[in-house]
Chain A
Amino acid sequence: DIVMTQSPDSLSVSLGERATINCKSSQSVFYHSKNYVAWYQQKPGQPPKLLIYAAFTRESGVPDRFSGSGSGTDFTLTITSLQAEDVAVYSCQQYYGTPFTFGPGTKVDLK
């Protein structure tokens, strides 16, 4: 199984500042010019919400302050200019193959 790890476990960021979350897969999730990695945002009592897929493609309706980068085994989610509504847990996920696996999540809150 592909193991997804994330760092840091939690992050405190001031309003308007940048948040950077890292994700690493135990093996490459790159295939046919595509990285099979997604990022989700989850708020308490809600299901996860897809933010980014294929490592850097924003889902429709997701603000452009959210961006994804990386390739192979190392990926990053960046939130530029953090807003109050961005307080949540962020998780990466690989869909390269079954079993699809998720990272443990990074909790982002306000400093």
Chain B
Amino acid sequence: EVQLVQTGGGLIRPGGSLRLSCAASGFSVSNNYMNWVRQTPGKGLEWLSVLYSGGSTYYADSVQGRFTISRDTSKNTLYLQMNTLRAEDTAVYYCAKSVDADSTFDSWGQGTLVTVSS
């Protein structure tokens, strides 16, 4: 069974850093396209980043240069390193899997809340 279990998140001060984790089971993160998506009441669902099976990465303009997506194949885990956090980064963050460039998000993590506030 495909499963994505997220950890990390919480309350962080503006300017701070946080790392989210997404542990996968039932499939290999290195053989799939892995994404991060966030959701806020005001902006809805916002795609943030993708890590292709070949290693290429892409980011939304809103997080480019501040967030870094990566994976640890030995742990079958996806990460999102978030630096220089801002109040507007407050959201529920999801990891999501897609099979390839021709497919979309077929499995999602349970979500984790990140609150950026002083």
Contact = CB atoms under 8 A, between A and B. Distances in A.
Interface of A: 34, 36, 38, 40, 47-50, 53, 59, 91, 93, 95, 98-105
Contact of B45 (A36, A50, A95, A102): A102
Interface in B31-86: 35, 44-47, 50, 58, 60-61
B1 interface: no
Given A59-B106, A98-B50, A101-B47, 17 more contacts: A38-B104, A38-B105, A40-B105, A47-B96, A47-B111, A48-B94, A48-B108, A49-B108, A53-B103, A99-B47, A100-B35, A100-B104, A102-B45, A102-B47, A103-B44, A104-B44, A105-B45
A56 to B, nearest CB: 14
B47 A100 contact: yes
Contacts of B44: 91, 102-105
A47 B94 contact: yes
B9 interface: no
Contacts of A36: 104
Contacts of B110: 47
Interface residues of B, number: 21
B114 to A, nearest CB: 15
Contact of A91 (B45, B58, B96): B45
A53 B104 contact: yes
B8 interface: no
7 contacts: A47-B94, A47-B110, A53-B106, A95-B103, A99-B58, A100-B47, A102-B45
A38 B106 CA distance: 10
Contacts of A104: 44
Contacts of B98: 95
A104 B43 CA distance: 8
A94 to B, nearest CB: 9
A103 B108 CA distance: 18
B14 interface: no
